[in-house]
């Protein structure tokens, strides 16, 4: 039942691709939030998206949306290389920002974004939705409680096969395309969230003809643990995350980064844990962000600035090892 005393958060969306459509679908299932505006430089796309997702307004420029006093929060789902530019634009207009992962192209950009958010006292959060999903929160709680002893190994992969197309955002190096920033961030996040920052990193990659990485294999070394991670656009993989503890093996089943099930294997017994998801999964981060706004918070404790910095710094380190550079 809707509580009329709870502040309704009014959302805008910039970048109207597939992820934005999924986000808008889940946003509609939340109480005390509403989609008031969407923006695209393609007028037809803006109008079509607005009609499909019941947005009150469709703008043909991002500036128009950001000048709308009825917009409280903006979800940014543009290509990676535009995240900093569009986030800074929102923050300059005092709009709270939920920006898709990766927060930016490198740590230097992320630091600039955080600095402006703090300067303007405006909420900024990276939209790494996995961090808010109940099954992943369950895994993190197992690690912290040491219910099954110490965590010794993390094995996580994310891979699918797509025919190379240099005009597709996924492959376009100038937009941050390639496996690492697009999907490799998820295995990397799984390791960082459970084992922390590694002492050393080994990494190797393969590349498309345009210089974007087609696959990346990583090993994170810790004092008493190891993470073996992989991202690839060259083959279908199980896309699982396996956590090996002293006394049990816990696996997030296929598509570990999105709503999934967990298998706990202990003493030759297996237990399947079903989290009974009813949505695509974007509602969890959207509700968390909306509540932060209601409480006048400017930073999330779950996806904190420090956490986003550690993620991008780790990705920067991997890129340095494999010799992957964006831009000039």
In tens, the pLDDT along 123-143 reads: 999 999 999 999 999 999 999
**Top-level class of domain 134-280:** alpha beta
Instruction: For domain 9-128, give the CATH number.
Output: 3.40.50.720
Radius of gyration of the chain (CA): 20
Tokens of 318: 């991997």
Q: Are 244 and 263 in contact (CB under 8 A)?
A: no
- Per-residue pLDDT, 5: 79
Locate all alpha helices (DSSP H) within the chain, ordered by sequence.
18-27, 43-52, 62-66, 83-92, 107-120, 134-145, 179, 185-195, 283-294, 305-322
| pLDDT over 80 at 2, yes or no | no
- Per-residue pLDDT, 262: 98
Q: What is the mean pLDDT of residues 27-53?
A: 97
- Per-residue pLDDT, 166: 85
pLDDT band at residue 3 under the 50/70/90 scheme = low
C-alpha torsion 101→218→195→83, nearest 10: -10
| pLDDT over 60 at 19, yes or no | yes
What is the separation of C-alpha 300 from the centre of its chain, rounded to a whole number of angstroms?
A: 14
Please give the angle made by the CA atoms of 221, 103 and 164, to the nearest 5 degrees.
80
- Per-residue pLDDT, 326: 85
Q: Are 283 and 27 in contact (CB under 8 A)?
A: yes
Quick: pLDDT tens for 83-113: 999 999 999 999 999 999 999 999 999 999 9
Q: Are 151 and 244 in contact (CB under 8 A)?
A: yes
- Per-residue pLDDT, 4: 61
Quick: pLDDT tens for 155-211: 999 999 988 888 898 999 989 999 999 999 999 999 999 999 999 999 999 999 999
Average pLDDT over the chain reads 96
What are the boundaries of each domain within the chain?
Answer: 9-128, 134-280
Q: What is the mean pLDDT of residues 65-69?
A: 98
Positions marked active-site = 101
| pLDDT over 60 at 227, yes or no | yes
pLDDT band at residue 327 under the 50/70/90 scheme = low
| 3-class DSSP assignment, residue 6 | coil
- Per-residue pLDDT, 56: 94
Please report the beta strands in 160-312, taking only residues with DSSP state E, as ranges in sequence order. Answer: 200-207, 213-221, 226-232, 241-245, 249-252, 262-266, 269-273
In Å, the largest CA–CA distance within the chain is 60
- Per-residue pLDDT, 1: 42
């Amino acid at each position: 039942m809707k509580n009329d005393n709870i502040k309704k958060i009014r959302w805008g969306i910039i970048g109207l691709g597939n992820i934005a459509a999924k986000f808008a679908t889940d946003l509609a299932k939340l109480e005390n939030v509403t989609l008031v505006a969407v923006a695209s430089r393609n007028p037809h796309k803006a109008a079509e998206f607005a009609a499909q997702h019941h947005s009150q307004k469709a703008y043909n420029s991002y500036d128009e949306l950001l000048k709308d006093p009825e917009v409280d929060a903006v979800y940014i789902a543009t290509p990676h290389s535009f995240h900093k530019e569009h986030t800074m634009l929102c923050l300059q207009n005092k709009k709270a920002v939920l920006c898709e992962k990766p927060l930016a192209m490198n740590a230097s950009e992320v630091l600039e974004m955080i600095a402006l958010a703090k300067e303007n006292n405006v909420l900024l959060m990276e939209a790494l939705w996995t961090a808010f999903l109940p099954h992943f929160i369950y895994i993190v709680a197992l690690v912290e409680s040491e219910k099954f002893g110490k965590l010794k190994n993390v094995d996580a992969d994310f891979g699918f096969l797509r025919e190379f197309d240099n005009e597709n955002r996924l492959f376009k190096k100038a937009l941050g395309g390639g496996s690492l920033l697009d999907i490799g961030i998820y295995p990397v996040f799984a390791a960082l969230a459970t084992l922390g920052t590694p002492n050393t990193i080994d990494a190797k990659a393969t590349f498309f003809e345009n210089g974007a990485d087609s696959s990346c294999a990583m090993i994170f070394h810790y004092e008493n643990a190891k993470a073996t991670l992989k991202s690839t656009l060259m083959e279908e993989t199980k896309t699982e995350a396996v956590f090996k503890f002293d006394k049990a093996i816990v696996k997030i089943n296929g598509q570990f980064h999105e709503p999934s099930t967990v298998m706990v294997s202990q003493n030759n017994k297996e237990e399947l844990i079903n989290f009974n998801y009813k949505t695509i999964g974007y509602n969890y981060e959207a509700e968390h962000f909306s509540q932060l706004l209601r409480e006048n918070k400017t930073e999330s404790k779950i996806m904190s600035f420090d956490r986003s910095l550690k993620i991008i710094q780790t990705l920067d380190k991997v890129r340095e090892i494999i010799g992957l550079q964006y831009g000039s």
